[in-house]
Chain A
């Protein structure tokens, strides 16, 4: 065991725990438990809001997978990764004040609360809850596995022990602290991610003998590495551009991001979050993927992309600093997992249990159920991650694009298009998810675009057409209702 590397990681975990228990005080004191536990009482300030959005969004793939692909593909992959800059400002600007105001009017605590009030449809609620539970559950298991592999590779502990250490550290602070703990630890983790990127970028450039030298080494090995088209010229402009939908504007439809857009205190918090978020997300994405490319001359011949970032840190940094830098991917994974955990728990407790099973539950009962549901989900995920069934791996492939195709139009058009109705929303959700899975199986990357594009277009068409077609019938029944009331 390499204690110089591990010590900073342990210190990092201690800080995270401390934040979790500190948040528990708010959970105990709060007089509206649900709003506190699942939304932090809408008290997030600008900095915390920006960091929790960035950290939730930036996952294992930004720190481990992404740099690995950049290592093999070259600068073309960094170009692709920069589509994510849009997430920094677009989500908050587009959901924006309207979502914050409407969510407060509806007294919505979860994304599903919002959809429920907007569409007044049980089918919409159950469809949303099902997609959130199924898809986020699987992607949680996948992140969990990634986290355990990372701990395993850093400490040399066996996989099972690594998984248990990683999982319990996340579970403890999420269960006791709720959303506030998640957001606050996200802020710590976001800072760690930012600093880690900065240190590693500088160290890698130094180890490679400066940028001009690195670039000419790359060009000497394969000129395509410094072109926008990827090492084997397979990255076409259309394909790369379509990532603006998957990892750029489509992010508006991810429930774990959307729920954050109703958690902030006031307009001021939102304004500064937009600025901070854009800077931080841009810097991390540009930096981490550049690191992947620059690693190639420094550390040639790596076969497995996922090992680039850990191996590079160990090589170019002194052990203690490497520990700090490697806390960054750990932070990225934790901050994604914790957000998913609290979201799945809120879908089960708030959206299913309190809506349909036991609407008249008392406060202490709700508290007990929330704590235990969160714990049970966590333990189930651990069991799954111990020997992941194929189904989980398979479902996880769809979770990102699939959730986007399900939620993007019901949320956006629900906010900005008054004629949108529940029939449109149901059509769009089923069409989005169904076509995403089918296309991915049988006709991936249609028209040279990423698979997510067609389902998003289809679900938009479905939403608009069905809403318009059913609009009149609904108006009729509405006016009937009104007349009976009058």
Chain B
């Protein structure tokens, strides 16, 4: 597979780390979604509390969960993701 000249591409190390971050984010997303959705939603409907008119389980799981994920995604991309060039070393090829 690695026929290209550079044996250990440094860019791959960054890429592997970022893929791992993606997996961690999806786990956080799932736990938040499941925890609030079924944690607060499993009780009797008569005992529900409401926030902005929406049942609390739904508000936290789906609405807040969405906002939290957007914030997490923005933070990770801005602070943890690194820019790398995709092309081979420019110069002699072009």
Cα distance, A215 to B58, chains bound together (Å): 12
A447 in contact (CB, < 8 A): no
Which stretch, A99-107, A173-181, A192-200, A316-324, touches the partner chain B? A99-107
A286 to B63, Cβ gap below 8 A? yes
B88 to A274, Cβ gap below 8 A? no
Please name all residues of chain B whose beta carbon is closer than 8 Å to the beta carbon of A278 when the two chains form the complex.
69-70, 73
A361 in contact (CB, < 8 A): no
Residue from the list A101, A213, A224 in contact with B15, Cβ < 8 A: A101
B45 to A249, Cβ gap below 8 A? no
B83 to A279, Cβ gap below 8 A? no
Please name all residues of chain A whose beta carbon is closer than 8 Å to the beta carbon of B37 when the two chains form the complex.
79, 228
Cα distance, A331 to B54, chains bound together (Å): 30
Per-residue contact bits, chain A 83-95, to B (CB 8 Å; 1 contact, 0 not) = 1011011101111
Residue from the list A86, A100, A101 in contact with B29, Cβ < 8 A: A86
Q: Identify the B interface with A (CB < 8 A).
A: 1, 4, 9, 11-12, 14-16, 18-19, 21-23, 25-26, 29-30, 33-34, 37-38, 41-42, 45-46, 48, 50, 52-55, 57-58, 61-63, 65-66, 69-70, 73-74, 77, 81-88
- Which A-chain residue is minimally distant from B55 (CB atoms)? A226
Given contacts A266-B86, A416-B19, 19 further A-B contacts (CB under 8 A): A79-B33, A85-B29, A85-B69, A89-B22, A90-B25, A94-B23, A97-B18, A98-B12, A98-B15, A100-B86, A101-B84, A105-B88, A212-B50, A213-B53, A215-B53, A267-B84, A267-B85, A267-B86, A274-B77
Interfacial residues of chain A within 171-222, with CB under 8 A of chain B in the complex = 210-215, 219
Residue from the list A211, A237, A286 in contact with B34, Cβ < 8 A: A237
Tally the A-B contacts, defined by beta carbons under 8 Å.
140
Cα distance, A213 to B53, chains bound together (Å): 8
A275 to B73, Cβ gap below 8 A? yes
Q: Could you show 11 A-B contacts with beta carbons less than 8 Å apart?
A: A82-B66, A98-B19, A100-B86, A101-B9, A211-B54, A227-B45, A227-B55, A228-B41, A267-B82, A274-B73, A278-B73
Shortest CB-to-CB span from A211 to chain B, Å, is: 3
A410 in contact (CB, < 8 A): no
Cα distance, A213 to B52, chains bound together (Å): 11
Q: Among the interface residues A97, A98, A274, A416, which one has the most CB atoms of the partner chain B within 10 A? A: A97
Q: With A282-B69, A286-B66 known to touch, is A268 a contact of B83 (CB < 8 Å)?
A: yes
B38 to A89, Cβ gap below 8 A? no
A266 to B85, Cβ gap below 8 A? yes
Please name all residues of chain B whose beta carbon is closer than 8 Å to the beta carbon of A83 when the two chains form the complex.
33
